[in-house]
Structure 1
Amino acid sequence: MQTVTTAAGIELAFDRIEGAGSGTVILVGGAFSYRAFPKMVELARKLADDHGLTVINYDRRGRGDSTDSPGVYDVENEIDDLAALAGVIGGEVALFGWSSGAGLALLAAGSGRVPGLVAVVAFEPPFVVDHENFVPPADLEPTLHALIAADRRAEVVRYYMTRGMGMPRILAGIMRFTPMWKNLLATAPATAHDWAIMGRFMRGEPLVSAQWSEVRVPTLVISGAKSGALLRKAARAITAVLPDARHEELPKLSHNPDIGILTPPAGVFLEKQFAH
Protein backbone atom coordinates (compact mmCIF):
# COMPACT_ATOMS: atom_id res chain seq x y z
CA MET A 1 0.00 0.00 0.00
CA GLN A 2 1.12 3.54 -0.81
CA THR A 3 -0.53 6.81 0.13
CA VAL A 4 -0.82 10.36 -1.15
CA THR A 5 -2.11 13.29 0.89
CA THR A 6 -4.19 15.82 -1.04
CA ALA A 7 -4.02 19.58 -0.60
CA ALA A 8 -7.22 19.30 1.46
CA GLY A 9 -5.57 16.82 3.83
CA ILE A 10 -7.30 13.66 2.61
CA GLU A 11 -5.01 10.62 2.70
CA LEU A 12 -5.67 8.30 -0.23
CA ALA A 13 -4.45 4.71 -0.08
CA PHE A 14 -3.55 2.91 -3.29
CA ASP A 15 -1.86 -0.15 -4.70
CA ARG A 16 0.39 0.10 -7.75
CA ILE A 17 0.46 -2.93 -10.04
CA GLU A 18 3.29 -2.63 -12.52
CA GLY A 19 2.78 -3.60 -16.14
CA ALA A 20 5.49 -4.40 -18.64
CA GLY A 21 4.43 -1.75 -21.15
CA SER A 22 3.79 1.96 -20.99
CA GLY A 23 0.84 3.91 -19.68
CA THR A 24 -0.89 4.07 -16.30
CA VAL A 25 -4.59 3.64 -15.62
CA ILE A 26 -6.36 4.66 -12.41
CA LEU A 27 -9.31 2.45 -11.42
CA VAL A 28 -12.28 4.39 -10.03
CA GLY A 29 -14.76 2.21 -8.16
CA GLY A 30 -18.47 2.76 -7.67
CA ALA A 31 -20.87 2.60 -4.72
CA PHE A 32 -19.77 0.17 -1.98
CA SER A 33 -16.53 -0.51 -3.87
CA TYR A 34 -13.02 -0.36 -2.40
CA ARG A 35 -9.57 -1.27 -3.65
CA ALA A 36 -9.52 -4.75 -2.03
CA PHE A 37 -12.86 -5.68 -3.62
CA PRO A 38 -11.99 -8.98 -5.38
CA LYS A 39 -13.18 -7.92 -8.83
CA MET A 40 -11.24 -4.65 -8.62
CA VAL A 41 -8.12 -6.63 -7.73
CA GLU A 42 -8.76 -9.04 -10.61
CA LEU A 43 -9.35 -6.18 -13.05
CA ALA A 44 -6.12 -4.49 -12.00
CA ARG A 45 -4.11 -7.67 -12.39
CA LYS A 46 -5.53 -8.53 -15.83
CA LEU A 47 -4.94 -5.02 -17.20
CA ALA A 48 -1.34 -5.29 -16.01
CA ASP A 49 -0.66 -8.88 -17.05
CA ASP A 50 -2.59 -9.01 -20.33
CA HIS A 51 -2.12 -5.45 -21.60
CA GLY A 52 1.10 -4.23 -20.00
CA LEU A 53 -0.57 -1.34 -18.20
CA THR A 54 0.54 -0.02 -14.83
CA VAL A 55 -2.59 0.13 -12.69
CA ILE A 56 -3.37 2.37 -9.72
CA ASN A 57 -6.12 0.75 -7.64
CA TYR A 58 -7.12 3.25 -4.95
CA ASP A 59 -9.60 3.62 -2.13
CA ARG A 60 -11.84 6.60 -2.85
CA ARG A 61 -12.29 8.85 0.18
CA GLY A 62 -14.25 7.21 2.97
CA ARG A 63 -13.41 3.66 1.91
CA GLY A 64 -10.82 1.11 2.93
CA ASP A 65 -7.64 2.80 4.15
CA SER A 66 -8.41 6.29 2.81
CA THR A 67 -9.63 9.05 5.11
CA ASP A 68 -12.86 10.97 4.66
CA SER A 69 -14.54 14.36 4.93
CA PRO A 70 -17.66 13.44 6.99
CA GLY A 71 -20.62 15.62 6.19
CA VAL A 72 -18.87 17.20 3.19
CA TYR A 73 -19.97 15.62 -0.07
CA ASP A 74 -18.96 17.37 -3.29
CA VAL A 75 -17.86 15.82 -6.56
CA GLU A 76 -15.28 18.60 -6.97
CA ASN A 77 -13.41 17.20 -3.97
CA GLU A 78 -13.20 13.75 -5.54
CA ILE A 79 -11.98 15.30 -8.78
CA ASP A 80 -9.25 16.96 -6.72
CA ASP A 81 -8.42 13.52 -5.28
CA LEU A 82 -7.95 12.10 -8.77
CA ALA A 83 -5.86 15.10 -9.76
CA ALA A 84 -3.62 14.51 -6.76
CA LEU A 85 -3.16 10.85 -7.66
CA ALA A 86 -2.37 11.66 -11.28
CA GLY A 87 0.06 14.36 -10.20
CA VAL A 88 2.01 11.94 -8.01
CA ILE A 89 2.07 9.30 -10.75
CA GLY A 90 3.26 11.72 -13.42
CA GLY A 91 3.19 11.24 -17.17
CA GLU A 92 0.20 10.08 -19.17
CA VAL A 93 -2.72 8.49 -17.34
CA ALA A 94 -6.15 7.08 -18.16
CA LEU A 95 -9.21 6.61 -15.94
CA PHE A 96 -11.25 3.40 -15.80
CA GLY A 97 -14.50 4.09 -13.96
CA TRP A 98 -17.08 1.53 -12.86
CA SER A 99 -20.72 2.57 -12.22
CA SER A 100 -20.76 5.85 -10.25
CA GLY A 101 -16.97 5.74 -10.57
CA ALA A 102 -17.51 6.03 -14.32
CA GLY A 103 -19.56 9.17 -13.71
CA LEU A 104 -16.71 10.54 -11.58
CA ALA A 105 -14.14 9.67 -14.25
CA LEU A 106 -16.13 11.51 -16.93
CA LEU A 107 -16.66 14.59 -14.77
CA ALA A 108 -12.96 14.59 -13.88
CA ALA A 109 -12.08 14.41 -17.58
CA GLY A 110 -14.34 17.38 -18.28
CA SER A 111 -12.81 19.42 -15.47
CA GLY A 112 -9.41 19.71 -17.13
CA ARG A 113 -7.79 19.26 -13.71
CA VAL A 114 -6.36 15.75 -14.10
CA PRO A 115 -2.80 16.15 -15.39
CA GLY A 116 -1.68 13.93 -18.24
CA LEU A 117 -5.15 12.49 -18.93
CA VAL A 118 -5.33 10.77 -22.32
CA ALA A 119 -8.41 8.50 -22.18
CA VAL A 120 -11.40 7.27 -20.19
CA VAL A 121 -13.11 3.89 -19.99
CA ALA A 122 -16.62 4.22 -18.53
CA PHE A 123 -18.27 0.95 -17.51
CA GLU A 124 -22.04 1.37 -17.04
CA PRO A 125 -22.37 4.84 -15.49
CA PRO A 126 -25.87 4.75 -13.91
CA PHE A 127 -27.46 7.77 -15.55
CA VAL A 128 -31.26 7.82 -15.40
CA VAL A 129 -32.38 9.53 -18.59
CA ASP A 130 -36.15 8.89 -18.60
CA HIS A 131 -38.98 7.70 -16.37
CA GLU A 132 -39.47 4.29 -17.97
CA ASN A 133 -37.62 2.15 -15.44
CA PHE A 134 -36.59 3.76 -12.16
CA VAL A 135 -36.04 7.26 -10.79
CA PRO A 136 -34.67 7.88 -7.26
CA PRO A 137 -36.91 9.92 -4.91
CA ALA A 138 -36.50 13.68 -4.84
CA ASP A 139 -35.64 13.66 -1.12
CA LEU A 140 -32.94 10.99 -1.37
CA GLU A 141 -30.08 13.31 -0.46
CA PRO A 142 -31.37 14.65 2.89
CA THR A 143 -32.67 11.22 3.88
CA LEU A 144 -29.36 9.55 3.05
CA HIS A 145 -27.34 12.23 4.84
CA ALA A 146 -29.50 11.90 7.97
CA LEU A 147 -29.06 8.12 8.08
CA ILE A 148 -25.30 8.48 7.66
CA ALA A 149 -25.05 11.18 10.35
CA ALA A 150 -26.91 8.86 12.75
CA ASP A 151 -24.51 5.99 11.84
CA ARG A 152 -27.44 3.74 10.90
CA ARG A 153 -25.33 1.79 8.46
CA ALA A 154 -27.61 -1.16 7.82
CA GLU A 155 -30.39 1.25 6.92
CA VAL A 156 -28.01 3.21 4.70
CA VAL A 157 -27.15 0.05 2.76
CA ARG A 158 -30.78 -0.96 2.27
CA TYR A 159 -31.92 2.58 1.47
CA TYR A 160 -29.20 3.34 -1.08
CA MET A 161 -29.52 -0.04 -2.78
CA THR A 162 -33.29 0.18 -3.15
CA ARG A 163 -33.95 3.92 -3.54
CA GLY A 164 -30.63 5.06 -4.99
CA MET A 165 -29.83 2.08 -7.21
CA GLY A 166 -33.25 0.57 -7.86
CA MET A 167 -32.44 -2.86 -6.46
CA PRO A 168 -35.52 -4.96 -5.54
CA ARG A 169 -36.11 -4.95 -1.79
CA ILE A 170 -35.87 -8.72 -1.54
CA LEU A 171 -32.39 -8.72 -3.08
CA ALA A 172 -31.22 -5.92 -0.81
CA GLY A 173 -32.55 -7.89 2.17
CA ILE A 174 -30.66 -11.00 1.14
CA MET A 175 -27.39 -9.05 1.26
CA ARG A 176 -27.54 -9.13 5.07
CA PHE A 177 -26.88 -12.87 4.96
CA THR A 178 -23.95 -12.80 2.55
CA PRO A 179 -20.21 -12.67 3.38
CA MET A 180 -20.01 -9.19 1.83
CA TRP A 181 -22.39 -7.63 4.40
CA LYS A 182 -19.60 -6.41 6.70
CA ASN A 183 -17.90 -4.68 3.77
CA LEU A 184 -21.18 -3.06 2.72
CA LEU A 185 -21.54 -1.68 6.24
CA ALA A 186 -17.95 -0.41 6.20
CA THR A 187 -18.42 1.53 2.96
CA ALA A 188 -22.03 2.64 3.58
CA PRO A 189 -21.22 6.24 4.64
CA ALA A 190 -19.34 6.81 1.37
CA THR A 191 -22.56 6.41 -0.63
CA ALA A 192 -23.13 10.13 -0.02
CA HIS A 193 -20.10 10.76 -2.23
CA ASP A 194 -21.62 8.58 -4.96
CA TRP A 195 -24.85 10.55 -4.80
CA ALA A 196 -22.90 13.83 -4.97
CA ILE A 197 -21.51 12.57 -8.28
CA MET A 198 -24.62 11.07 -9.84
CA GLY A 199 -27.65 12.70 -8.22
CA ARG A 200 -28.21 15.50 -10.72
CA PHE A 201 -27.98 13.02 -13.60
CA MET A 202 -30.51 10.54 -12.15
CA ARG A 203 -33.67 12.63 -12.38
CA GLY A 204 -35.14 11.00 -15.46
CA GLU A 205 -34.07 13.84 -17.75
CA PRO A 206 -32.07 13.50 -21.01
CA LEU A 207 -28.35 14.20 -20.84
CA VAL A 208 -27.36 17.59 -22.26
CA SER A 209 -24.42 17.79 -24.66
CA ALA A 210 -23.24 21.13 -23.28
CA GLN A 211 -22.61 19.56 -19.86
CA TRP A 212 -20.15 17.07 -21.39
CA SER A 213 -18.53 19.14 -24.13
CA GLU A 214 -15.23 19.46 -22.23
CA VAL A 215 -14.68 15.68 -22.09
CA ARG A 216 -12.38 15.81 -25.07
CA VAL A 217 -10.25 12.72 -24.50
CA PRO A 218 -11.14 9.51 -26.36
CA THR A 219 -13.70 7.57 -24.34
CA LEU A 220 -14.87 3.97 -24.47
CA VAL A 221 -18.28 3.38 -22.90
CA ILE A 222 -18.96 -0.26 -22.06
CA SER A 223 -22.25 -1.89 -21.13
CA GLY A 224 -23.31 -5.51 -20.70
CA ALA A 225 -26.06 -7.21 -22.67
CA LYS A 226 -27.17 -8.95 -19.45
CA SER A 227 -27.50 -5.66 -17.53
CA GLY A 228 -30.85 -3.96 -17.02
CA ALA A 229 -32.43 -1.66 -19.58
CA LEU A 230 -31.65 1.43 -17.48
CA LEU A 231 -27.89 0.85 -17.59
CA ARG A 232 -27.82 -0.10 -21.27
CA LYS A 233 -29.85 2.99 -22.15
CA ALA A 234 -27.54 5.14 -19.99
CA ALA A 235 -24.48 3.88 -21.86
CA ARG A 236 -26.00 4.81 -25.22
CA ALA A 237 -27.13 8.20 -23.90
CA ILE A 238 -23.75 9.30 -22.55
CA THR A 239 -21.97 8.08 -25.70
CA ALA A 240 -24.27 10.24 -27.82
CA VAL A 241 -23.38 13.46 -25.97
CA LEU A 242 -19.62 12.99 -25.58
CA PRO A 243 -17.39 14.66 -28.18
CA ASP A 244 -15.15 11.62 -28.81
CA ALA A 245 -16.73 8.39 -27.64
CA ARG A 246 -17.77 4.98 -28.83
CA HIS A 247 -19.94 2.37 -27.16
CA GLU A 248 -19.49 -1.38 -26.92
CA GLU A 249 -22.19 -3.65 -25.50
CA LEU A 250 -20.64 -6.97 -24.54
CA PRO A 251 -22.57 -10.26 -24.65
CA LYS A 252 -22.82 -12.26 -21.40
CA LEU A 253 -21.70 -9.23 -19.34
CA SER A 254 -23.68 -7.76 -16.43
CA HIS A 255 -23.18 -4.97 -13.90
CA ASN A 256 -21.53 -7.62 -11.70
CA PRO A 257 -19.10 -8.34 -14.50
CA ASP A 258 -17.06 -11.30 -15.58
CA ILE A 259 -13.66 -9.59 -15.55
CA GLY A 260 -12.45 -11.90 -18.29
CA ILE A 261 -15.10 -10.43 -20.60
CA LEU A 262 -14.76 -6.81 -19.45
CA THR A 263 -10.98 -6.50 -19.64
CA PRO A 264 -10.04 -7.27 -23.29
CA PRO A 265 -11.88 -4.43 -25.09
CA ALA A 266 -10.89 -1.95 -22.40
CA GLY A 267 -7.28 -3.09 -22.42
CA VAL A 268 -6.95 -2.94 -26.20
CA PHE A 269 -8.53 0.54 -26.28
CA LEU A 270 -6.16 1.81 -23.58
CA GLU A 271 -3.09 0.31 -25.24
CA LYS A 272 -3.97 2.22 -28.43
CA GLN A 273 -4.35 5.52 -26.60
CA PHE A 274 -0.96 5.21 -24.94
CA ALA A 275 0.68 4.17 -28.22
CA HIS A 276 -0.16 7.48 -29.91
Structure 2
Amino acid sequence: MTEFVTSADGTRIAFDREGAGPPVILIGGAMQFRAFDPATAEMAHLLAGHGFSVVNYDRRGRGESSAEPPITLAQTIDDLRALTELLTEGADDAVALFGNSSGGAIALAAAAAGLPVSKLVFFEVPLDAEGGAEGAVFVEELRERIDAGDRVGTLEVYMADMPPEWLEGAKQSPGWPTMLEVAPSLLPDAESLAWTQSAPRAELWRGITAPTLALVGEQTQPIMTSAAASLVASMPDATTRTIPGADHRWDPHVLALAIAEFLVG
Protein backbone atom coordinates (compact mmCIF):
# COMPACT_ATOMS: atom_id res chain seq x y z
CA MET A 1 0.00 0.00 0.00
CA THR A 2 1.32 3.44 -0.90
CA GLU A 3 2.39 5.59 2.03
CA PHE A 4 3.17 9.30 2.03
CA VAL A 5 5.56 11.57 3.90
CA THR A 6 5.42 15.38 3.81
CA SER A 7 8.59 17.19 2.75
CA ALA A 8 9.78 20.55 4.07
CA ASP A 9 7.77 22.61 1.56
CA GLY A 10 4.57 20.61 2.02
CA THR A 11 5.00 18.33 -1.01
CA ARG A 12 3.75 14.79 -0.41
CA ILE A 13 6.26 12.09 -1.33
CA ALA A 14 4.83 8.66 -2.14
CA PHE A 15 6.62 5.45 -1.24
CA ASP A 16 6.31 1.72 -0.72
CA ARG A 17 7.85 0.12 2.35
CA GLU A 18 8.55 -3.59 2.76
CA GLY A 19 10.40 -5.79 5.21
CA ALA A 20 11.77 -5.41 8.72
CA GLY A 21 15.28 -4.57 9.75
CA PRO A 22 17.81 -1.78 9.11
CA PRO A 23 16.31 0.89 6.82
CA VAL A 24 17.38 1.26 3.18
CA ILE A 25 16.15 3.94 0.77
CA LEU A 26 16.36 3.30 -2.99
CA ILE A 27 17.03 6.42 -5.08
CA GLY A 28 16.09 6.06 -8.72
CA GLY A 29 18.02 7.54 -11.59
CA ALA A 30 16.74 9.31 -14.68
CA MET A 31 12.99 8.77 -15.22
CA GLN A 32 12.67 5.92 -12.73
CA PHE A 33 9.65 5.71 -10.44
CA ARG A 34 7.55 2.91 -8.98
CA ALA A 35 4.87 2.56 -11.67
CA PHE A 36 7.44 2.79 -14.47
CA ASP A 37 10.21 0.65 -13.00
CA PRO A 38 9.24 -2.96 -12.20
CA ALA A 39 12.87 -4.07 -11.91
CA THR A 40 13.50 -1.83 -8.89
CA ALA A 41 10.20 -2.92 -7.32
CA GLU A 42 11.30 -6.54 -7.66
CA MET A 43 14.75 -5.75 -6.32
CA ALA A 44 13.19 -3.95 -3.33
CA HIS A 45 11.10 -7.02 -2.55
CA LEU A 46 14.14 -9.29 -2.76
CA LEU A 47 16.29 -6.96 -0.65
CA ALA A 48 13.56 -6.86 2.01
CA GLY A 49 13.72 -10.65 2.06
CA HIS A 50 17.39 -10.37 3.08
CA GLY A 51 16.35 -8.68 6.34
CA PHE A 52 15.96 -4.97 5.60
CA SER A 53 13.19 -2.38 5.76
CA VAL A 54 13.28 -1.13 2.17
CA VAL A 55 11.72 2.07 0.87
CA ASN A 56 11.15 2.48 -2.87
CA TYR A 57 9.81 5.99 -3.46
CA ASP A 58 8.63 8.23 -6.27
CA ARG A 59 11.02 11.10 -6.59
CA ARG A 60 9.47 14.57 -6.64
CA GLY A 61 7.64 15.24 -9.91
CA ARG A 62 7.25 11.54 -10.69
CA GLY A 63 4.42 9.08 -10.17
CA GLU A 64 2.36 9.91 -7.09
CA SER A 65 4.84 12.52 -5.79
CA SER A 66 3.19 15.35 -7.68
CA ALA A 67 5.11 18.63 -7.94
CA GLU A 68 5.34 21.48 -10.40
CA PRO A 69 8.67 22.65 -11.84
CA PRO A 70 11.14 23.96 -11.02
CA ILE A 71 12.25 20.80 -9.21
CA THR A 72 15.64 21.19 -7.57
CA LEU A 73 18.35 19.11 -5.95
CA ALA A 74 17.84 20.96 -2.66
CA GLN A 75 14.17 19.95 -2.64
CA THR A 76 15.12 16.37 -3.49
CA ILE A 77 17.48 16.26 -0.51
CA ASP A 78 14.67 17.64 1.69
CA ASP A 79 12.48 14.77 0.47
CA LEU A 80 15.15 12.25 1.46
CA ARG A 81 15.50 13.93 4.84
CA ALA A 82 11.75 13.59 5.44
CA LEU A 83 11.88 9.90 4.52
CA THR A 84 14.91 9.38 6.76
CA GLU A 85 13.26 11.05 9.73
CA LEU A 86 10.22 8.84 9.27
CA LEU A 87 12.28 5.65 9.04
CA THR A 88 14.53 6.42 11.98
CA GLU A 89 11.83 7.63 14.37
CA GLY A 90 12.36 5.71 17.59
CA ALA A 91 14.73 3.26 15.89
CA ASP A 92 18.08 3.44 14.12
CA ASP A 93 19.51 6.89 13.72
CA ALA A 94 20.77 6.40 10.16
CA VAL A 95 19.70 4.89 6.85
CA ALA A 96 21.52 3.11 4.07
CA LEU A 97 21.13 4.63 0.61
CA PHE A 98 21.23 2.85 -2.74
CA GLY A 99 21.53 5.16 -5.74
CA ASN A 100 21.07 3.88 -9.27
CA SER A 101 22.93 5.79 -12.00
CA SER A 102 22.36 9.54 -11.48
CA GLY A 103 20.47 8.61 -8.30
CA GLY A 104 23.90 7.80 -6.91
CA ALA A 105 25.01 11.41 -7.37
CA ILE A 106 21.87 12.50 -5.50
CA ALA A 107 22.75 10.08 -2.69
CA LEU A 108 26.26 11.55 -2.53
CA ALA A 109 24.89 15.09 -2.34
CA ALA A 110 22.46 14.09 0.41
CA ALA A 111 25.19 12.44 2.46
CA ALA A 112 27.47 15.46 2.02
CA ALA A 113 24.58 17.70 3.15
CA GLY A 114 24.48 15.86 6.48
CA LEU A 115 21.83 13.20 5.98
CA PRO A 116 22.53 10.49 8.59
CA VAL A 117 23.80 7.65 6.42
CA SER A 118 24.98 4.25 7.65
CA LYS A 119 26.22 2.89 4.30
CA LEU A 120 26.13 3.94 0.64
CA VAL A 121 25.80 1.70 -2.41
CA PHE A 122 25.89 2.98 -6.00
CA PHE A 123 25.35 1.36 -9.35
CA GLU A 124 27.17 3.11 -12.20
CA VAL A 125 27.11 6.80 -11.28
CA PRO A 126 27.95 8.52 -14.62
CA LEU A 127 30.56 10.98 -13.36
CA ASP A 128 32.46 13.10 -15.84
CA ALA A 129 36.07 14.06 -15.18
CA GLU A 130 36.87 15.66 -11.85
CA GLY A 131 37.05 19.44 -12.10
CA GLY A 132 35.47 19.58 -15.54
CA ALA A 133 32.86 22.09 -16.71
CA GLU A 134 30.61 19.68 -18.61
CA GLY A 135 28.18 19.35 -15.71
CA ALA A 136 27.58 23.08 -15.27
CA VAL A 137 26.94 23.51 -19.01
CA PHE A 138 24.62 20.52 -18.94
CA VAL A 139 22.56 22.03 -16.10
CA GLU A 140 22.12 25.34 -17.91
CA GLU A 141 21.09 23.68 -21.18
CA LEU A 142 18.62 21.45 -19.37
CA ARG A 143 17.19 24.33 -17.32
CA GLU A 144 16.63 26.38 -20.49
CA ARG A 145 14.56 23.58 -22.03
CA ILE A 146 12.58 23.00 -18.84
CA ASP A 147 11.86 26.71 -18.37
CA ALA A 148 10.67 26.89 -21.98
CA GLY A 149 8.31 23.97 -21.44
CA ASP A 150 10.14 21.99 -24.13
CA ARG A 151 9.89 18.45 -22.81
CA VAL A 152 11.14 16.77 -25.98
CA GLY A 153 14.14 19.09 -25.97
CA THR A 154 14.70 18.36 -22.28
CA LEU A 155 14.99 14.64 -22.94
CA GLU A 156 17.14 15.20 -26.01
CA VAL A 157 19.57 17.30 -23.98
CA TYR A 158 19.59 14.83 -21.11
CA MET A 159 20.29 11.86 -23.37
CA ALA A 160 22.69 13.63 -25.74
CA ASP A 161 25.80 11.86 -24.39
CA MET A 162 24.17 8.43 -24.27
CA PRO A 163 24.38 5.96 -27.15
CA PRO A 164 22.13 7.45 -29.88
CA GLU A 165 20.13 4.25 -30.16
CA TRP A 166 18.94 4.77 -26.56
CA LEU A 167 17.19 8.03 -27.46
CA GLU A 168 15.74 6.68 -30.68
CA GLY A 169 14.56 3.58 -28.89
CA ALA A 170 12.94 5.71 -26.19
CA LYS A 171 11.09 7.81 -28.77
CA GLN A 172 9.69 4.69 -30.41
CA SER A 173 8.72 3.02 -27.14
CA PRO A 174 5.27 3.05 -25.48
CA GLY A 175 6.95 4.68 -22.48
CA TRP A 176 7.85 7.90 -24.36
CA PRO A 177 4.75 9.85 -23.17
CA THR A 178 5.61 8.95 -19.58
CA MET A 179 9.20 10.09 -20.06
CA LEU A 180 7.92 13.41 -21.40
CA GLU A 181 5.67 13.77 -18.37
CA VAL A 182 8.52 13.44 -15.88
CA ALA A 183 11.12 15.34 -17.93
CA PRO A 184 11.19 18.42 -15.62
CA SER A 185 12.23 16.17 -12.72
CA LEU A 186 15.58 15.49 -14.42
CA LEU A 187 17.07 18.76 -13.20
CA PRO A 188 18.16 17.35 -9.80
CA ASP A 189 20.02 14.56 -11.62
CA ALA A 190 21.92 17.13 -13.66
CA GLU A 191 22.52 19.39 -10.64
CA SER A 192 23.93 16.54 -8.58
CA LEU A 193 26.26 15.44 -11.38
CA ALA A 194 27.46 19.02 -11.87
CA TRP A 195 28.04 19.32 -8.13
CA THR A 196 30.52 16.43 -8.30
CA GLN A 197 32.69 18.65 -10.55
CA SER A 198 32.30 21.83 -8.48
CA ALA A 199 35.39 21.27 -6.27
CA PRO A 200 38.03 18.60 -5.69
CA ARG A 201 36.12 15.41 -4.91
CA ALA A 202 38.19 14.58 -1.84
CA GLU A 203 37.07 17.94 -0.48
CA LEU A 204 33.41 17.48 -1.48
CA TRP A 205 33.23 14.03 0.08
CA ARG A 206 35.57 14.46 3.05
CA GLY A 207 32.69 14.32 5.50
CA ILE A 208 31.10 11.18 4.04
CA THR A 209 32.58 8.58 6.35
CA ALA A 210 29.95 5.88 5.76
CA PRO A 211 31.32 2.71 4.13
CA THR A 212 30.62 2.94 0.40
CA LEU A 213 30.37 0.41 -2.43
CA ALA A 214 30.52 1.45 -6.09
CA LEU A 215 29.09 -1.28 -8.33
CA VAL A 216 29.75 -1.46 -12.07
CA GLY A 217 28.58 -3.90 -14.72
CA GLU A 218 31.06 -6.23 -16.35
CA GLN A 219 29.98 -5.06 -19.83
CA THR A 220 29.64 -1.38 -19.03
CA GLN A 221 30.93 1.74 -20.79
CA PRO A 222 34.40 3.11 -19.90
CA ILE A 223 32.95 6.20 -18.18
CA MET A 224 31.38 3.99 -15.52
CA THR A 225 34.59 2.21 -14.55
CA SER A 226 36.53 5.49 -14.41
CA ALA A 227 33.73 7.03 -12.33
CA ALA A 228 33.86 4.15 -9.85
CA ALA A 229 37.64 4.55 -9.62
CA SER A 230 37.20 8.26 -8.93
CA LEU A 231 34.72 7.50 -6.15
CA VAL A 232 37.09 5.03 -4.52
CA ALA A 233 40.05 7.40 -4.80
CA SER A 234 38.16 10.38 -3.39
CA MET A 235 36.13 8.93 -0.52
CA PRO A 236 37.41 7.98 2.94
CA ASP A 237 36.00 4.42 2.96
CA ALA A 238 34.99 3.18 -0.50
CA THR A 239 35.46 0.04 -2.55
CA THR A 240 34.30 -1.11 -5.95
CA ARG A 241 32.88 -4.40 -7.24
CA THR A 242 31.98 -5.71 -10.68
CA ILE A 243 28.58 -7.28 -11.35
CA PRO A 244 29.11 -10.17 -13.82
CA GLY A 245 27.34 -9.86 -17.16
CA ALA A 246 25.66 -6.53 -16.45
CA ASP A 247 25.82 -3.41 -18.60
CA HIS A 248 23.93 -0.30 -17.40
CA ARG A 249 21.08 -2.64 -16.49
CA TRP A 250 21.04 -5.28 -13.77
CA ASP A 251 19.28 -8.43 -12.68
CA PRO A 252 17.16 -7.77 -9.54
CA HIS A 253 18.25 -11.00 -7.84
CA VAL A 254 21.95 -10.37 -8.42
CA LEU A 255 21.80 -6.72 -7.36
CA ALA A 256 19.72 -7.39 -4.23
CA LEU A 257 22.24 -9.99 -3.12
CA ALA A 258 25.21 -7.70 -3.79
CA ILE A 259 23.63 -4.87 -1.81
CA ALA A 260 22.63 -7.16 1.06
CA GLU A 261 26.09 -8.69 1.32
CA PHE A 262 27.68 -5.26 1.60
CA LEU A 263 25.14 -3.90 4.08
CA VAL A 264 25.44 -6.95 6.32
CA GLY A 265 29.22 -7.07 6.04
Q: Same fold (TM over 0.5)?
A: yes
Partner Cα distance (1:138, 1:119) in 2: 28
Paired amino acid for 2:164: R
Identify unmatched segments of 5+ residues in structure 2.
Answer: none
Q: Give the total of aligned pairs.
A: 259
Q: CA deviation at 1:81?
A: 1.3
**Identity %, equivalent residues:** 34
Q: CA deviation at 1:130?
A: 6.4
Paired amino acid for 2:185: A
Matched, 1:122 2:122: yes
Equivalence map 1:134-153=2 (5 Å) = 136=134, 139-153=137-151
Q: Structure 1-normalised TM-score?
A: 0.86
Partner Cα distance (1:85, 1:46) in 2: 21
For the 8 Å contact 1:144–1:160, the answer to whether it is kept is yes
Aligned counterpart in structure 1 of residue 113 of structure 2, from 106, 111, 114:
111
Partner Cα distance (2:97, 2:201) in 1: 22
Partner Cα distance (1:30, 1:155) in 2: 19
For the 8 Å contact 1:33–1:187, the answer to whether it is kept is no
For the 8 Å contact 1:129–1:201, the answer to whether it is kept is no
Corresponding position of 1:95: 97
Partner Cα distance (1:138, 1:6) in 2: 27
Q: CA deviation at 1:189?
A: 1.0
Aligned counterpart in structure 1 of residue 217 of structure 2, from 219, 224, 227:
224
Paired amino acid for 2:121: V
Partner Cα distance (1:211, 1:138) in 2: 16
Corresponding position of 2:44: 44
Corresponding position of 2:243: 250
Paired amino acid for 1:234: A
Identify unmatched segments of 5+ residues in structure 1.
Answer: none
Secondary structure, aligned partner of 1:26: strand
C-alpha distance after superposition, 1:95-116 (max 9, x if no partner): 11111111111221222233xx
| Residues 211/46 of structure 1: CA separation in 2 closer, same or farther (3 Å cut) | same
Paired amino acid for 2:33: Y
Partner Cα distance (1:86, 1:226) in 2: 34
| Residues 171/78 of structure 1: CA separation in 2 closer, same or farther (3 Å cut) | closer
Equivalence map 1:22-61=2 (5 Å) = 22-36=21-35, 37-49=37-49, 51-61=50-60
Partner Cα distance (1:104, 1:17) in 2: 22
